[in-house]
Amino acid sequence: MTRPNSESTNKAVIYCRSATTTSGVTRDNAKDYIPLSKQAAIGREFARSQGYDVTATFNDIISGNTRDRPGFNQLLEHLRISGQYSIIIADHSRLARSLDIYHELKTWLAAIGGVVQIAEAHQELPEWMVKHAAN
């Protein structure tokens, strides 16, 4: 993990995504559910520990297998207008639930100067990433 080293690169935004609200949590998906408020708190703590100034938080309640997301689209527009930023997410699965979409979204972000920072990178990789790495 690298710390920001100039005034223009110490700004960050937080992106939070969940496929469901608490009312949609079932026994089958409970282990993957992280409330948006908890994701934002994880992101803020990470930002504080790394010296980032969080300027905005963007949320989506939508599947990680979906490319077109209102909150993520707002994040992209914010980055285009504001300049280079780091995007903090709680864990890998908050950005996407498939490797294709994960890489596609990271490519979009990189094209406009965005860099993804994983707050809880020490966690185990999602199963879909592990399966791909094994191939």
Q: What is the CATH number of the domain that holds 21?
A: 3.40.50.1390
User: Is residue 27, in this structure, part of any structural domain at all?
Assistant: yes
User: Is residue 42, in this structure, part of any structural domain at all?
Assistant: yes
User: Is residue 43, in this structure, part of any structural domain at all?
Assistant: yes
Chain centroid offset of residue 102 CA: 10
User: Is residue 50, in this structure, part of any structural domain at all?
Assistant: yes
φ, ψ dihedrals at 109, nearest 5°: -65, -45
**Cβ contacts of residue 96 below 8 Å, gap of 6+?**
64, 65, 102, 104, 105
- The residue range of the domain holding 47 is 7-134
User: Strand 114-118's sheet: what is its strand order?
Assistant: 53-61, 11-18, 85-89, 114-118
**Cβ contacts of residue 74 below 8 Å, gap of 6+?**
58
Encode the chain (135 residues) as per-residue pLDDT tens digits. 444 444 446 899 999 998 876 555 444 445 567 889 999 999 999 999 999 999 999 999 988 888 889 998 998 889 888 876 889 999 888 888 888 888 887 888 888 878 889 998 655 555 545 454 444
User: Is residue 103, in this structure, part of any structural domain at all?
Assistant: yes
User: Is residue 1, in this structure, part of any structural domain at all?
Assistant: no
Name beta bridge partners: 58: 15
User: Is residue 99, in this structure, part of any structural domain at all?
Assistant: yes
Contact 87, 4 (CB under 8 A): no
Give how many domains the chain has, as a whole number.
Answer: 1
φ, ψ dihedrals at 32, nearest 5°: -95, -10
pTM comes to 0.77
User: Is residue 2, in this structure, part of any structural domain at all?
Assistant: no
